Structure 1
Amino acid sequence: MNTSKHFGLALAAVLLLACVPAFAGASVVDKLTTLFIYMLLATTWNLMAGYAGLVSVGQQAFFGLGGYFALRLVDGGLPAYPALLAGALGAALLAWVMSFYVLRLKDGEFAIGTWVVAEVIRILVMLDPLIQGETGTSLIALNAVEPELRRSVGYWFALAALAGMALAMAVLLRSHVGTAAKAIGDDDAAAASLGVRVLRTRQAIYVLAAFGAALAGVAWLASAITFLPRTNFGVQWSVLMLFMVLVGGLRSGPGPYIGALLLFALQELMGDFGAWYLAGLGAAAAGCALFLPQGLWGALSPHLSRLVTRPLVSPVSTPQERTAP
């Protein structure tokens, strides 16, 4: 199937999903909004770790910063919904500044360093009188919007963010930056020896992934309205990203979406069981690590390829073939 057909199917799916609030109940809309946020987080983390070799444990910094900047902008007089997008852009701008420092760290140092930076940012945000420490605050401006409309707009915002980020990543991965990122993910030293600009390429990937995490953060804020530093800057977001990508399939297109769907299903089925839900996540991750090292998509794709290429009608044998011994 060529690229134009893929794009046409994706566009049709987005348009169909955009119609969901017109006929679905509030519960369905809220659950799908959460699923879109999970998918957005998973795909952007996969972009970093799978293609550029940047295993971050600090993406929650941008998830929380997007919401924090939006709150600050609304407090300064900007309307709520434009502030959400501006907050995500502000987080991406800060990520660009941070990239000159954190991208000089290697492997495990980078992973730990990003987590430390995220914790420092959380503490600094809590010192802001607007946030009120652990108490947190709310995006009160959204309370003026009728609840059903607010729910629908939050849904459309999350869907548009996911679709836009998926398109941006597809374009990037087909460009020279994507080719360089794949080379860096395989071996950054070898890529550098061939003339690849490692730092600049990783900066582009890092900033785009940070923007995606910030979009997820403001979509979450638009849905939940409340902003709690422990929640919005919680390391659980990075843990969930890692789970979704590793279970779904690292460095694959559909893998993160499959991982997000599995996480969502486990939450729906086992979310009320407390510790058993966490045990279910751990068991699923351990099972994939042991038996499916390439994730669910890595295990399914060969079978799907055979189904697609298998002829629908068996070839008719010639008379010579029928009489052959």
Structure 2
Amino acid sequence: MKHFDIIIIGGGPIGIACGIEAKKNGLSYLIIEKGCLVNSLYHYPVNMQFFSSSELLELDKIPFISKENKPRRSEALEYYRRVVTTNELNINLFETVIEAQKDKEGVFHVKTSKDSYTAKDVIIATGFYDIPNPLNIPGEELPKVSHYYTDPHYYAGMNVVVVGASNSSVDAALECYRKGAKVTMVVRDSEISSHVKYWVKPDIENRIKEGSITALFNSNIKEITDNSVVINNNNKEITIKNDFVLALTGYRPNFVFLEQLGVSISNDENRTPTYNTETMETNVTNLYLAGVVCGGLNTHTWFIENSRIHAVTILTHIISKYRYCRF
């Protein structure tokens, strides 16, 4: 069994930042990622453009040069790949953490799909993109339903329902419409979300106003069938012809994994994990949270740009404990 000072679960930008800080401080570490490098970013829509500027996505002051002020997915993938390779970070890809437990001596035992490890400290930087929020309706399991969206070409000429009105939903609706799909948006609220990128919001609102994209506000899907979708629209039931449903209803952290490790989760609607905001340490000693996982269901709290500092915060606290133990 291999032992490390720190095991970092999650190979996204914040997990990478933690690995950089661990290496800079001379600690042995391992980053474990269940998919490819920056797996969540890889599964973003192929044409996605970030809300943030490239400078705000940089790690360890390593320049992120992009063609536009706001970089695109492909540029981000290349940037983070170069950060990992240039720093020669110790990262295992396509390796899934199956379980992690802490023994009586305070050592964490981490079992994965490929090996087993031990560590004194563990950092969870798993984000929230892996578990979709379900619709919990009949027909959600049909092959034509997806909780992820990648490329609009697939939906050319089809009748597509897009559920939601956030950035991902709006991007999907606009791109599919421009590839020739007949798009209907089903929106729970009375308007497009205020969180939508400011340069995109007028576009979707104008397309709805002119009738290029149909938007059913104050609505929710009741049932999905092979050829149609049943919708509750302002308390009236309507049925429309449908080929595909993009249920872009948001995602959630892996609360089961956090609770198995002993992390306390709030009982309110946000289900926020418990951690010390000054150290990022959870209620479990030597177990830390980093990145967007800290926000629970409130996924608009943490982003790459404002959680990069978590890496420095965590490693500063870990180093201070190591120094204390040595004396």
If each structure's helix is expressed as a fraction of its own residues, which one has the higher value? Answer: 1
In the superposition, the TM-score normalised over structure 2's length comes to: 0.24
If each structure's strand is expressed as a fraction of its own residues, which one has the higher value? Answer: 2
In the superposition, the TM-score normalised over structure 1's length comes to: 0.24
Higher relative contact order (CA 8 A, sep 6+): 1
